[in-house]
């Protein structure tokens, strides 16, 4: 066929640009790369080449897909592997150019590369670059690319999208040449049938069927016929098609021309949104180039087939993704769907046969024709062959374009390639398929990604957008956003979509404002189902998916908005005061006490904290500081240290003796006796908090505890160097002054004890902690010298000095492990902490971890205990060593951390004691006799909003309800229990009377300047590591006020609600 000779010469020229020619540096110049400064990097490279006069060239290429690592630069010298560099700044241009001078210089820059590419399969041609640098991982060994299969993205990031010679050089247009020279239209359709290719626009209709219908209609009705590419891509967060066109426009052109030949189409149209100027520009240039060499236009490649393609820019209306609406828009009419049949293949553009396929569908055609349908169908699953490109955005470390073989799991993509979100934030779910898709919870991430499985979950494949969400995303808000989007994009032609989406939006707004009822959720569900069943087009038929899936998988969040009047994520602005207050389990008015301190009203600031937290001095020292985790100041520099200020207020008042007047005020405010008797089991954080509020409400409160003093974990499990016992005792004494009675050394273990307590009380609150230590489950753990961390810490708190020897190993990575290790150090031991993951994955507070390292404690990570070895004595054998196994990092798991994978490397750590601190669980005896249900892990079953158990007289809070939790979380539940129980006993809403409003300035900072968090001073290491004196000196007055000034006052805004109330039982 004429034209083949030209193709050969073009191929030779294009290939010389890529391999075995002049050294080069390429820069990914897609929209994402340019947005991150890639154009500046490219200009700097060009300038450096000009300045250094090194024989090299700068190449423009498309996006390699790794958007989180942009700008991406590749370096090439003949005979050497391609080197991949990420996050390249313009300042590095000169050094990279100098690295091209010779092999020695190239070897030098190779040490700074992220990965190498030794050869590349362009699917239509394979190019070998070179082998070297064993120390570098290959590109496929990088987490982001591991498991990817590049079919559609086969050329992206490696060829210049504006040079047709390079596309041809790697085998481009080979498929078209084969189709026109050796295949018939029917044989092409048959090959597509063998491939199993399904439409990549979302519906998944078999491509060959669509083409066959089109061809049959063209044969039956000769004349004009159209092949259209839908490149409108209207899903928020989706940019696959944009990237594919920007990075490899000829791939799309070849696919459309080949498909047009198979179907008998006479004209092609690419309908692309005007918001994609770079894609439009590169596609237009590519079409001009293709026309010049005879690949588009009349008598393509010397054949009798003539076909041209026009680029039509759309206004970006989402509804134009629907076939008939898209056709209407091309014809110059309003983009509104029309009833089908007739289908476009029968009567489409200008009433002529028309086939519309998505960008990605067309892009797969060259590979199928070149390599054969069976090659394509061998990838993926039998019902969903091939690959699919997804844009992963949102709450993941690695955002970008991921091309997966269909059938891969969501888990492998989110936690493997995208590497999750890290241990600090837990991924909640993802939205698949854009506004028409559904929200899938993280618990279902093992689901294969294919058409059938996603549909079963209530989602769709869509065009490939995957928006990952974490605990800071509110699913009610997500549904509201997507319904708002579809409501605004609805063409209004059919009543179900026009009215139904608007009504759904109104209900969702009510839920977000806390003004909805559970009946509204039933109405919302019915509306979504009705619109799905009766809307005219795909927009309306799928509009309800985000609603239906969030109601199905995240219904508890809706209920929290309705019953608790609370948005757990702190997004729905009428349901929280500020993010710090929302994330605080006690919902303390943190901006309030910070502002009062700024106004020099320290007594008011202390009173505000005391009313909301009865243990301000204690909690201010040991809190997990949930507030700091959501502080918006962190976006500017560092979060505000609210906890240190909390502590400062209490310490200052106690030192000056000024807390007495506030104590007296609260005692005088105590409500009249109700005559109701409440028994609280457990005098830990939850029991103390509940006794504080319930005593103030006038109830007769008796607290029972198995120990000799109150405090629970605060008294017996936290060392004095963190929490001096006199602070805790002082705060407990005030609760006693309010009327709470404590009975110690009392264990509730028998049926009779529980029954007597129930008979003598109007209500019982179980507020016990998770006191049972988890065991290692390894041989030898019963040897003498293997000690649970809780036992060690308790003995020390009792004033004992346990004999643990000179060499101690602590197993674990949480706060208990650090407390045990630092305590063992103070007993004179050399301490090694063994943890099976990386140090960055340790769940302990970063301040405590830093303190342990300062004090000389060794932390051995990626190490797992396998056996406690004894001294061999026949009687009372004692531990002498811990046998451990080295681990290596595997794929990221659902905790956001790399999975520890065992290796074959074992060794022993000599020791006199092994302290086990790997967690606790709930264990409460005798409960079966009082008709409260139990969860499998030992927790008591409760209503999550009233915290009432199956026994109407028994309420539960703290670890007994949640499992191991922080002190603040336990006290937060105690607050809910106190309010619900008081209303149940008195039939009145009285709880809010315990608090009083404080007037203070409602003004945001006028001028913001960067200022890092103020750090408290600590006692020097040498002066503290041999004793249990408190190590943190806390803030001075000046430090506290400086830190308070850093608050951004996120609470200053209009909102419907100012405070929280516990839910009313229905």
What are the tokens at 777? 């489950």
Please list the alpha-helical segments (H only) found in 630-681. Answer: 642-656, 659-669
- pLDDT score of 141: 95
Tell me where in the chain the CATH 3.10.20.600 domain(s) lie: 387-575
Judged against a pLDDT cut of 50, whether residue 445 lies above it is answered with: yes
Residue 343 and residue 41 in contact, taking contact as beta carbons nearer than 8 Å: no
What are the strands of the beta sheet with 24-28, ordered from one edge? Answer: 57-61, 24-28, 73-76, 82-85, 115-117
At residue 892, the 3 state secondary structure works out as strand
Largest CA distance in the chain: 103
Burial status of residue 146 (CB atoms within 10 A of its CB: 0-12, 13-18, 19 or more): middle
Burial status of residue 552 (CB atoms within 10 A of its CB: 0-12, 13-18, 19 or more): middle
Question: Which of residues 830 and 897 earns the better pLDDT score?
Answer: 830
- CATH class, domain 4-139, is alpha beta
CATH number (3.30.420.40, 1.10.760.10, 3.40.718.10, 3.40.50.11540) of 173-377 reads 3.40.50.11540
- Give 870's contacts (C-beta < 8 A, 6+ positions apart): 780, 783, 877, 878, 879, 880
- pLDDT score of 1: 45
Angle (CA) 10 12 17, round 5°: 95
Look at the chain and count its residues. Answer: 1066
Rounded mean pLDDT of 939-952?
92
Q: What is the pLDDT of residues 221-241, one digit of tens each?
A: 999 999 999 998 767 778 899
Domain 387-575: give its CATH code.
3.10.20.600
Q: 32-46, 137-151, 625-639: which range is least confident on average?
A: 625-639
Rounded mean pLDDT of 11-38?
93
| Alpha-carbon span 565 to 563, nearest angstrom | 6
Across 628-655, b (16+ Cβ under 10 Å) vs e yields bbbbebeeeebbbbbbbbbbbbbbbbbe
**Residues facing residue 402 across a β-bridge:** 390
Judged against a pLDDT cut of 50, whether residue 1066 lies above it is answered with: no
Tell me where in the chain the CATH 3.40.30.10 domain(s) lie: 4-139
End-to-end CA separation in angstroms for the chain: 80
Rounded mean pLDDT of 36-58?
96
Tell me where in the chain the CATH 3.50.50.60 domain(s) lie: 672-771+931-994, 775-918
Q: Is residue 1059 reached through a cis peptide bond, with omega within 30 degrees of 0 on the bond before it?
A: no
Rounded mean pLDDT of 952-975?
95
- pLDDT score of 403: 97
Number of H helices, E strands in the chain: 41, 33
Q: Which pTM value belongs to this model?
A: 0.88
Residue 486 and residue 435 in contact, taking contact as beta carbons nearer than 8 Å: yes
Residue 459 and residue 421 in contact, taking contact as beta carbons nearer than 8 Å: no
Domain 775-918: give its CATH code.
3.50.50.60
- pLDDT score of 437: 87
Rounded mean pLDDT of 1039-1046?
96
Q: 6-10, 507-511, 617-621: which range is least confident on average?
A: 6-10
Residue 284 backbone phi and psi in degrees, to 5: -65, -45
Q: Per CATH, which fold does 672-771+931-994 belong to?
A: FAD/NAD(P)-binding domain (3.50.50)
Tell me where in the chain the CATH 3.40.50.11540 domain(s) lie: 173-377
């Amino acid at each position: 066929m004429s034209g083949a000779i030209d193709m050969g010469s073009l191929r030779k020229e294009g290939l010389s640009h890529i391999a075995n020619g002049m050294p080069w540096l390429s820069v990914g110049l897609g929209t994402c790369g340019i947005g991150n400064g890639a154009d500046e990097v490219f200009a700097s490279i060009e300038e450096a080449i000009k300045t250094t006069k090194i024989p090299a060239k700068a190449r423009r290429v498309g996006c390699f897909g790794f958007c989180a690592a942009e700008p991406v630069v590749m370096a090439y010298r003949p005979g050497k592997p391609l080197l991949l560099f990420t996050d390249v700044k313009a300042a590095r241009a000169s050094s990279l150019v100098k690295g091209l001078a010779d092999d020695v210089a190239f070897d030098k820059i190779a040490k700074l590369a992220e990965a190498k590419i030794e050869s590349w399969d362009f699917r239509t041609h394979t190019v070998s670059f070179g082998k070297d640098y064993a120390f570098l991982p290959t590109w496929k060994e990088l987490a982001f690319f591991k498991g990817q299969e590049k079919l559609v993205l086969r050329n992206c990031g490696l060829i210049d999208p504006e040079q047709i010679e390079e596309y041809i050089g790697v085998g481009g247009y080979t498929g078209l040449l084969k189709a026109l020279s050796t295949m018939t239209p029917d044989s092409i359709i048959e090959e597509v049938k063998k491939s199993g290719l399904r439409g990549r626009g979302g519906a998944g209709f078999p491509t060959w069927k669509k083409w066959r219908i089109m061809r049959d209609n063209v044969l039956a009705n000769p004349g004009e016929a159209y092949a259209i590419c839908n490149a409108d891509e209207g899903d928020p967060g989706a940019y696959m098609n944009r990237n594919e066109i920007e990075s490899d426009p000829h791939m799309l052109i070849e696919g459309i021309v080949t498909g047009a030949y198979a179907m008998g189409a006479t004209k092609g149209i690419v309908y692309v949104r005007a918001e994609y100027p770079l894609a439009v520009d590169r596609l237009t240039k590519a079409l001009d180039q293709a026309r010049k060499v005879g690949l588009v236009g009349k008598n393509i490649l010397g054949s009798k087939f003539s076909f041209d393609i026009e680029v039509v820019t759309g206004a970006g209306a989402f509804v134009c993704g629907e076939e008939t609406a898209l056709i209407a828009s091309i014809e110059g009419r309003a983009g509104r769907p029309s009833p089908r049949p007739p289908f476009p293949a029968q009567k489409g553009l200008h009433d002529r046969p028309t086939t519309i396929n998505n960008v990605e569908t067309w892009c797969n055609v060259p590979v199928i024709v070149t390599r054969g349908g069976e090659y394509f169908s061998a990838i993926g699953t039998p019902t969903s062959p091939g690959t699919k490109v997804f844009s992963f955005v949102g709450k993941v470390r690695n955002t970008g374009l991921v091309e997966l073989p269909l059938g891969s799991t969501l888990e492998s993509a989110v936690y493997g390639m995208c590497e999750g979100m890290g241990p600090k934030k837990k991924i909640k779910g993802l939205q698949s398929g854009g506004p028409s898709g559904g929200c899938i919870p993280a618990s279902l991430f093992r689901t294969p990604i294919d058409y059938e499985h996603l549909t079963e979950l209530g989602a769709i494949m869509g065009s490939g957008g995957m928006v990952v969400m974490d605990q800071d995303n509110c699913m009610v808000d997500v549904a509201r956003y997507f319904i708002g989007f579809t409501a605004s994009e609805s063409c209004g032609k059919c009543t179900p979509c026009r009215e139904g989406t608007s009504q759904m939006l109104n209900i969702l707004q009510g839920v977000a404002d806390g003004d909805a009822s559970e009946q509204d959720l039933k109405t919302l569900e019915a509306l979504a189902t009705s619109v799905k069943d009766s809307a005219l087009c795909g927009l309306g038929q799928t509009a309800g998916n985000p609603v239906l899936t969030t109601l199905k998988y995240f219904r508890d969040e809706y209920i929290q908005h309705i019953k608790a009047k609370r948005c757990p994520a702190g997004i729905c602005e009428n349901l929280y005061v500020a993010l710090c207050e929302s994330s605080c389990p006690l919902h303390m008015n943190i901006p309030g006490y910070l502002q009062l301190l700024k106004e020099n009203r320290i007594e008011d600031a202390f009173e505000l904290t005391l009313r909301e937290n009865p243990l301000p001095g204690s909690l201010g020292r040991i809190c997990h500081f949930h507030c700091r985790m959501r502080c918006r100041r962190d976006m500017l520099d560092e979060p505000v240290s609210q906890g240190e200020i909390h502590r400062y207020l209490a310490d200052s008042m106690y030192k000056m003796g000024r807390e007495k007047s506030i104590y007296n005020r609260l005692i005088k405010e105590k409500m009249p006796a109700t005559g109701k008797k409440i028994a609280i089991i457990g005098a830990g954080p939850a029991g103390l908090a509940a006794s504080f509020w319930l005593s103030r409400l006038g109830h007769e409160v008796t607290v029972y505890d198995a120990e000799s003093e109150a405090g629970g974990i605060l008294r017996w499990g936290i060392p004095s160097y963190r929490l001096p016992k006199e602070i805790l005792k002082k705060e407990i004494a005030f609760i006693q002054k309010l009327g709470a009675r404590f009975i110690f050394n009392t264990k509730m273990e028998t049926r009779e004890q529980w029954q007597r307590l129930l008979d003598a009380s109007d209500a019982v609150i179980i507020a016990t902690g998770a006191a049972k230590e988890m065991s290692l489950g390894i041989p030898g753990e019963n040897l003498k010298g293997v000690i649970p961390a809780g036992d060690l810490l308790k003995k020390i708190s009792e004033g004992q000095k346990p004999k643990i020897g000179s060499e101690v190993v602590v197993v674990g990575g949480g706060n208990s492990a650090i407390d045990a290790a630092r305590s063992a150090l103070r007993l004179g031991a050399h301490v090694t902490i063994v943890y099976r993951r990386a140090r960055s994955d340790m769940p302990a507070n970063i301040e405590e971890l830093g303190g342990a390292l300062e004090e000389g404690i060794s932390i051995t990570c990626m190490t797992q205990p396998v056996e406690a070895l004894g001294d061999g004595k026949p009687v009372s054998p004692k531990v002498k060593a811990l046998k451990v196994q080295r681990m290596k990092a595997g794929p990221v798991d659902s905790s956001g951390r790399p999975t520890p994978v065992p290796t074959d490397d074992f060794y022993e750590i000599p020791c006199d004691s092994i302290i086990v601190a790997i967690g606790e669980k709930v264990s409460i005896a005798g409960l079966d006799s009082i008709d409260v249900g139990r969860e499998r892990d030992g927790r008591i079953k409760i209503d999550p909003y009233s915290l009432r158990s199956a026994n109407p007289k028994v309420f539960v809070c703290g670890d007994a309800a949640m499992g191991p939790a922080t002190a603040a979380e336990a006290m937060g539940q105690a607050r809910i229990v106190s309010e619900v129980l008081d209303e149940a006993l008195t039939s009145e809403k009285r709880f809010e009377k315990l608090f009083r409003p404080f007037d203070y300035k409602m003004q945001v900072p006028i001028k913001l300047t960067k200022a890092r968090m103020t750090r408290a001073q600590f006692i020097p290491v040498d002066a503290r590591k041999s004793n249990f004196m408190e190590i943190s000196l806390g803030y001075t007055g000046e430090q506290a006020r400086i830190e308070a000034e850093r608050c951004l006052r996120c609470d200053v805004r209009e909102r419907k609600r100012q405070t929280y109330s516990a839910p009313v039982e229905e």
